A = this chain, B = another copy of it.
Amino acid sequence: MLTKRQLLVLKEIIRSFTESGQPVGSKTLMAELPIHVSSATIRNDMAALEEQGLIKKTHSSSGRVPSTKGYRFYLDNLVEPTAVSANEIAAIQQGFGGHFYKIDEIVAQSARILSNLTSYTAITLGPEVTNLKLTGFRMVPLGNHQVMAILVTSNGSVESQLFTLPPEVDSDGVEKAIRIINDELVGLSLGEVAQKLQTEVPAVLFKYMTSPDGFLDIFGNVLKKAAAERFYVGGRLNLMDYLGDNDVDQLKRLLAMMDSEQGNVNALLGPLHDSHIKVKLGSELTPDVLANLSLLTANYSVGEHGTGMIALIGPTQMPYSKMIGLLDAFREELAKRLTDYYSHFDQ
């Protein structure tokens, strides 16, 4: 068991190391601690903390640095989220100032705001789309065999893509096909639609079109795009500030992962969880691109419109109390904005 003073020492080591990035020695601690004991006493406490594996030395006669285990202990037991400052609230409000035409714009903007506020890297995900329903499908001919396929889903998000129609697709058939889709498939979840696209739909279409393959490709393609979980990254380049020194290779791989459009965000952030804010660091992070970094994930809920996630990537020596407070405030603000958006939209 640890004494109250030892807890204080650990807390101060983490605070000081977070601020300066330098190992913390007993004399420094003596000056900073609220209680007044000699450096020798503190050294004894530090020895105890080191025995528990909570802090460690960088070399045999150096000051101490928090270990991963120490951070874990700190996060589980000691950290007290800081309230967000008025400045930060103002910055958030201002960031959300403009007008948004799509949910995704709000989510993308969130990543920007969050990264600006923290100087770290933010990743945001829109509300989950599992039981999203198809509400409409259009194809607009634009001349020269070009058509634009537009797919609308129940949360108001719109996916469109340009296609060149294969010559074997006859426009008469296409019109009928679209009518069928809107009659038969609207109201179903995207998952169900995708399934029927494999089974029933081709059979039906064969009655009206000579070769429905090209058409099915187009529809399937747009459907896939609409169902894809998209994520937005803000402050990619900030990575260089807290990772730049040594591991250029890691930096490159991480940036590449963030840039890849269809990159699986789950591999990076892990699954959606129910706790409000979750911190993972050091060896707890499975994807090795995040080694030596810290990952904060937070969920947010938009009522019946689903649950989403925001995440913050930064250095292990992060001011956790501040970041946790900020992330908590932000997730509520984002939820409010999205609820707002949906309510205008549902009216």
A302 interface contact, C-beta 8 A: no
Query: Is A252 located at the chain interface by the 8 A CB criterion?
Result: yes
A142 touches B146 (CB 8 A): no
Q: How near does chain B come to A56, taking the closest CB pair, in angstroms?
A: 29
Is there an interface contact between A136 and B144, defined as CB atoms closer than 8 Å? no
Tell me the minimal C-beta distance from A226 to chain B in angstroms. Answer: 13
A248 interface residue per 8 A CB criterion: yes
In A226-250, the 8 Å CB interface with B consists of 236-237, 240, 244, 248
What residue in chain B is nearest A255 (Cβ atoms)? B237
The CA of A244 and the CA of B152, in the complex, are separated in Å by 44
Q: Which of A159-167, A262-270, A304-312, A313-321 forms contacts with chain B?
A: A159-167
Partner of A162, one of B101, B140, B142, B164: B101
A152 and B158 within 8 A (CB): no
State whether A142 touches B148 (Cβ < 8 A): no
Of B144, B152, B240, B244, the contact of A142 (CB 8 Å cutoff): B152
In this complex, what residue of B is CB-closest to A135?
A: B143
Whether the pair A138, B140 counts as a contact (CB closer than 8 A) is yes
Closest to A102 in B: B162
Specify how many copies of this chain sit in the oligomer: 2
Alpha-carbon gap, A160 to B161, bound state (A) = 9
Q: A152 contacts which chain B residues (CB < 8 A)?
A: 142-143, 146
Whether A148 contacts B150 in the complex (CB less than 8 A), given A140-B140, A240-B252, A255-B237, comes out as yes
A106 at the interface (CB under 8 A from B): no
Could you tell me the distance in whole angstroms from the C-beta of A230 to the nearest C-beta in chain B?
Answer: 15
Is A29 part of the contact surface with B, judged by Cβ < 8 Å?
A: no
| Residue from B146, B150, B164, B252 in contact with A237 in the complex, judged by beta carbons closer than 8 Å | B252
**Complex Cα distance A321/B161, Å?**
41
Nearest B residue (CB) for A345:
B144
Q: Considering the complex, give the chain B residue whose CB is closest to the CB of A238.
A: B252
**Cα of A287 to Cα of B152 in the assembled complex, Å:** 44
Residues of B within 8 A of A135 (CB): 143
- Taking a contact as CB atoms under 8 Å apart, the answer to whether B163 and A160 are in contact is no
On whether A248 and B244 interact (CB within 8 A), knowing A140-B150, A163-B101, the answer reads: yes
- Contact yes or no, B240 A251, CB < 8 A: yes
Q: How far is the CA of A211 from the CA of B273 in the complex (A)?
A: 48
Closest chain B residue to A105 by CB distance?
B162
Confirm or deny: A156 has a beta carbon within 8 angstroms of a beta carbon on chain B: yes
Distance between A255 CB and nearest chain B CB, rounded to angstroms = 6
Query: Which of chain A's residues 123-152 have a Cβ closer than 8 Å to chain B?
Result: 135-136, 138, 140, 142-144, 146, 148, 150, 152
* A136 and B160 alpha carbons, distance in the complex (Å): 18
Residue pair A101, B164 in contact (C-beta under 8 Å) = yes
Q: Which of A70-116 contact B (CB under 8 A)?
A: 101-102
> Is A40 an interface residue, CB under 8 A from the partner?
no
Q: How far is the CA of A16 from the CA of B148 in the complex (A)?
A: 54
**Contact across chains for B158 and A142 when beta carbons are under 8 A apart:** yes
Residue A256 interfacial (CB < 8 Å)? yes
Which residue in B158, B251, B252 is a CB contact (below 8 Å) of A148? B158
Which chain B residue shows the least CB distance to A148?
A: B150
Not counting A136-B143, A148-B158, A240-B252, a sample of 8 additional A-B residue pairs whose C-beta atoms are within 8 angstroms of each other reads A101-B146, A101-B161, A140-B150, A144-B156, A146-B158, A148-B160, A237-B252, A240-B248
